[in-house]
Structure 1
Amino acid sequence: MDVDIGNALASAASPGVPRSYLDRLDARVADAHERIERGMADGEFGYAALNLPERVDTGAIRDAVAPLDGAEAVLTVGIGGSALGAATLTDALDTEGEAYYLDNVDPAQVSDLLDDLDLESTAVNVVSRSGTTAETLANFLVVRDAYEARDVDWTERTLVTTGESGNLRDLADEHDLPVLPVPEGVPGRFSALSTVGLAPAAILGVDVETVVEGARRERESLAGSLYETPAYAYGAIAYALDARGANANVAMPYHESLETYAEWYAQLHAESLGKDGLGQTPVRALGATDQHSQLQLYRAGPNDKLVTFVRARDGPDVPIPEADLDGLDYLADSTLGGLRDAEFEATEASLADVGLPNVRVTIDRVDAASVGGLLYGMEAAVVLAGELYDVETFTQPAVEWGKEVARDLLRGADALDEKETLRVTRE
């Protein structure tokens, strides 16, 4: 992963970061790196996520998914970090079947998906660290019922990824289901490079060892300077721009297969850094699609955003056929890839022209190694930014509050009456 921050410096953007400030900030980055390295060495909660390239056991993943060999589709039942990392990988990479995700509790979507799936050839991957996540268990119960209604043995097609105890662990033990452990000390949103994110990809034939190797190479690039570490350069520039008024961070990949990556990054960024009144608001976009819509705001609206482009140097291409149509001479001898690259360069130049800060993140190809490195690099960038913000990067108290209230709403009025905040809201 390479990061070009030139269009986010004060010499090119407003708001922008003066080079002299980056020099001073680099001393804080060095201190933050020491803290991150200590946390990794001690396996501290959260920091342990950055050890995954060395510690994830891909052999154990292969063994666990072996009973599901031959599945033509995988249905993952999870929510948030239990699904988005896996979806990023299966959407980005070539697979030997289709990947589907139930990561919401929309009755119409659940019913429509189950109606359309050939359950005989579909593996189920249910993921919950606690084994008690309401949305995940509710969806899984509906899925299990659908299998039983069609006389398909769900126990022969189900993989469970969970903790050492909880409802899912009990269910797995009762039915002798294959089980993968969630990694210790790793918050869900940082678990893409673990059993949580890699299992669906492994079921569908992705070379997960190469994904991990790409992440390992990115891990080896971590050093105590933003000038030497692409991940730290990105985390530091995002933090510095936020302090100068760029309060939104637009993740804009220029490859259709990386659209889910933008969703993954939005969760990682928001849930990790949105604390104590701090943190940029992540925005999801897709080039070239959203340059025909959102670009109007980015170029002509307030300069309160950082736009982060993600693109690959190389990849497949398709020639554009000749056409006897007026006004299309500029497409002669061109390709879809060439058109996409021209669209990207035009958008980048358009934003630079009005001084809106933007950063270019470049990977070699949209392949297993590069995507593994991209995910690891962005995790490291967010951890570094959390140190600079001085927030509790690895907790999510606002999310937990919402979960508790939802459970109480389902329990009824007696539980609600104990919640002063909710009672005032309801009045």
Structure 2
Amino acid sequence: MDVDIGNALAGVATPGVPRSYLDRLDERVADAHDRIRTGMADDEFGYAALNLPERADPDAIRAAVAPLADADTVLTVGIGGSSLGAATLTDALATEGEAHYLDNVDPAQVSSLLDDLDLESTAVNVVSRSGTTAETLANFLVVREAYEERGVDWTERTLVTTGDSGNLRDLADEHDLPVLAVPDGVPGRFSALSTVGLAPAALLGVDIEGVLAGAREERDALSGSLFETPAYAYGALLYALDGRGAHANVMMPYHESLETYAEWYAQLHAESLGKDGLGQTPVRALGATDQHSQLQLYRAGPNDKLVTFVHARDGPDVPIPSADLDGLDYLAGATLGELRDAEFAATEASLADVGLPSVRVEIERVDAPAVGGLLFGMEAATVLAGELYGVETFVQPAVEWGKEVARGLLRGEEALEETESLRVTRE
């Protein structure tokens, strides 16, 4: 993963970060790096996630998924960090079969998906560290009933990924289901490079060893200077720009296969850094699609955003057929990849022209090592930013509050405080 922050520096962008400030900030980055290294060495909660490239065991993962290796489709039941990392890997890298994710409790969507699936050839991967996540357990119970109604033995098609205790662990023990352990000390949003993210990927033929190898390269590249570590350069820049008024971070990959990566990053960023009145708002975008839906705002609206472009230098391509059509002579002899890259370069230049800060994150190609490195790099960037902000990066109290209230409402034990409403209806 390479990071170019030139278009976010003062003199080019407003807000922008002066190079002299980055020189001073680098001293704090060195201190933060020492804290991160200590946390990793001691396997402290949260920091342990940065050890996953070394600790994850692909052989154990492949052994656990082996009983389901005949599946054509993998249905992962989880929410948030229990699904987005896996979805990022399968959407970017899977070359065989289909992956589906039940990560919401929308009755219409759940019913429609189950109606369309051939359950006899579908493996179910249910993921919850606690084994008590309401949305996950509710969806899994619906899935299990669908299997039973169609006469398919769900116990022969189910993999459980969970903690050492809880409802799912008990279920796995009772029915002798294949089970993978969620690693200790790793918050869900940091678990993409663990059993949580790698098991569905392995079932769909992804080179999980390559993913981990790429992540290890980024891990080994961590140093005490933002000028030597791409991940730290990015994390430090987020912090510095937020303090100067760039309160939104638009994550904009220029590859369809990385669209889910932007969703994964949004959770990682928001849940880790949104505390104590601090943190940028992550925005998901996709190039070149959102040049037509969002670029107008970015170029002509308020300069309160950073746009992060993610671009691969190499990859498959498709020639554009010649056509006798007026006004399309510029496409003659071009390819779809060349058109996409021209759109990317033009968008980047367009934002620089009006002084909106942007960062270019480049990988060589969308393959297993590069995606593994990208995921690890963004995790390390987020941890560093958390150190600079001084927030508790690895907790999410606001999320837990909402979960408790929802459980109380379902039990009839909680009543939400009435607030004044202004309802507008048609006559």
Structure 1: gaps (5+ residues):
none
For the 8 Å contact 2:94–2:201, the answer to whether it is kept is no
Out of 411, 417, 423, the residue aligned to residue 423 of structure 1 is 417
- Please tell me the residue identity of whatever aligns with 2:67: P
Question: Is 1:280 the equivalent of 2:280?
Answer: yes
Tell me which residue corresponds to 2:111: 111
Distance (Å, rounded) in 1 between the aligned partners of 2:279 and 2:414: 31
For the 8 Å contact 1:416–1:423, the answer to whether it is kept is no
**Residue aligned with 2:250, SS:** strand
Question: Is 1:54 the equivalent of 2:54?
Answer: yes
- Write out aligned runs for 1:130-279 (5 A): 130-279=130-279
For the 8 Å contact 1:80–1:189, the answer to whether it is kept is yes
Tell me which residue corresponds to 1:78: 78
**Residue aligned with 2:417, SS:** helix
1:26 Cα deviation (Å)? 0.3
Distance (Å, rounded) in 1 between the aligned partners of 2:269 and 2:417: 31
Question: Is 1:121 the equivalent of 2:121?
Answer: yes
Tell me which residue corresponds to 1:325: 325
Distance (Å, rounded) in 2 between the aligned partners of 1:152 and 1:252: 42
Tell me which residue corresponds to 2:366: 366
1:95 Cα deviation (Å)? 2.6
TM-score norm. by structure 1 comes to 0.98
1:70 Cα deviation (Å)? 1.2
- Please tell me the residue identity of whatever aligns with 1:400: E
Q: How many correspondences in the alignment?
A: 421
Tell me which residue corresponds to 2:425: none
For the 8 Å contact 1:254–1:344, the answer to whether it is kept is yes
Distance (Å, rounded) in 2 between the aligned partners of 1:136 and 1:258: 25
Distance (Å, rounded) in 1 between the aligned partners of 2:44 and 2:254: 35
1:79 Cα deviation (Å)? 0.1
How far does the alpha carbon of each residue in 1:333-368 deviate from its partner, in whole angstroms, 9 at most, with x for none?
A: 000000000000000000000000000000010000
1:426 Cα deviation (Å)? 8.3
**Residue aligned with 1:174, SS:** helix
**Residue aligned with 2:356, SS:** coil
TM-score norm. by structure 2 comes to 0.98
Structure 2: gaps (5+ residues):
422-427
Question: Is 1:5 the equivalent of 2:30?
Answer: no
Tell me which residue corresponds to 2:311: 311
How far does the alpha carbon of each residue in 1:53-96 deviate from its partner, in whole angstroms, 9 at most, with x for none?
A: 00011111011000001110000000000000000000001332
Tell me which residue corresponds to 1:388: 388
Distance (Å, rounded) in 1 between the aligned partners of 2:329 and 2:235: 42
1:424 Cα deviation (Å)? 4.8
Identity rate of aligned residues, in percent? 85
1:203 Cα deviation (Å)? 0.7
Distance (Å, rounded) in 2 between the aligned partners of 1:102 and 1:95: 21
Tell me which residue corresponds to 2:36: 36
**Residue aligned with 2:399, SS:** helix
1:423 Cα deviation (Å)? 2.5
- Please tell me the residue identity of whatever aligns with 1:30: A
